[in-house]
Structure 1
């Protein structure tokens, strides 16, 4: 075996690069070779279903829309994030509150029925609606908003699978344009302030 230090440095470099590539393949939300969407390309009009009827985002122009993607079997992250949305709404002045709409979009349409989604969303706030659609419609809107979703088998659980997904608050201005995607670590105060600033900068017409 050679004790040439240069050779070992080269080998270590090759292994490090291989490890980085493997990590990228395992964790990226974008296939290798595919151009990632820029933020300004995300968002736009969408149509989904709720327990109260069909929802068209066009009908909610004039309001700040706060949208979160999740699923009902999500044990911690989704309820916690919805709690943040609910708490932020409670911090708003009445006039501002009347110009905000929350959406909880299920990325698990095979298990999440509309009545259960409605009950879940309304538990947090009357201004939040639970939405979903067919698998094709859900795939379309997650692609439209650049939301990472991946089904993960759970052989040792009573659940057949869980859903890994991006956890963000998507902010849509009163003109229907996506203007921000805030981290799930956002606090209620920060989210409420973002809603207020959005209405100030993009007043409802």
Structure 2
């Protein structure tokens, strides 16, 4: 009798944990937007190459879009270096079909002049773009990008930006063809480009 009570208690605990865990997972899934996924859509911003719009791309071109900022100490330069490495692996015809675009989520510090200098380190083909905070928030929401300003009064920079770090392969209509998670190596991006081109 005691043994049956023990097993019943264990079963009840497992059931409660299972239901609670499922509820937590569903909440996280809904909160992250993973159920719907990013919708993408038009990108029209001031850029280091003049006014930029995805609609300017040729039918067979795509943009590799990254959201970051020039004062980022690690993830941003690494991500753009990965894009540069991936482009170097493509043949010339494929390379001409890829437009690398960094969208700054730090409009306060990232002027077009600063973006031009920064993206120039990675290659002449790289475009830097930015907009007003309202434009960037709307764009980030459509692309499923999370970013927030973090005050760092003890630092000379005064603040940093926490942000998600995926790369988006996007066509001229704003359709997200592939989303590539952050990696310090170009393999995942190369694979995505191979499928999308």
> Which of 25, 31, 42 does residue 45 from structure 1 map onto?
42
> Alpha carbon RMSD of aligned pairs, Å?
2.8
- Structure 2, unmatched stretches of 5+, are 1-8
- Structure 1, unmatched stretches of 5+, are 1-5, 200-205
- Counterpart CA distance in 1 for 2:172 and 2:44 is 17
| Partner SS for 1:74 | coil
> What is the TM-score of this pair, normalised by structure 1?
0.77
Offset at residue 98 of structure 1 (A):
0.8
* Equivalent residues, number: 179
Q: Are residues 1:76 and 2:54 paired?
A: no
| Higher mean C-alpha displacement, 88-97 vs 179-188 | 179-188
- Counterpart CA distance in 2 for 1:35 and 1:96 is 32
- Counterpart CA distance in 2 for 1:112 and 1:30 is 33
> Which of 188, 195, 198 does residue 196 from structure 2 map onto?
198
Deviations 1:125-173 (A, max 9, x none): 2221001011111111111101000111102111221100001111114
- Counterpart CA distance in 2 for 1:29 and 1:115 is 39
> What is the TM-score of this pair, normalised by structure 2?
0.80
For the 8 Å contact 2:180–2:192, the answer to whether it is kept is no
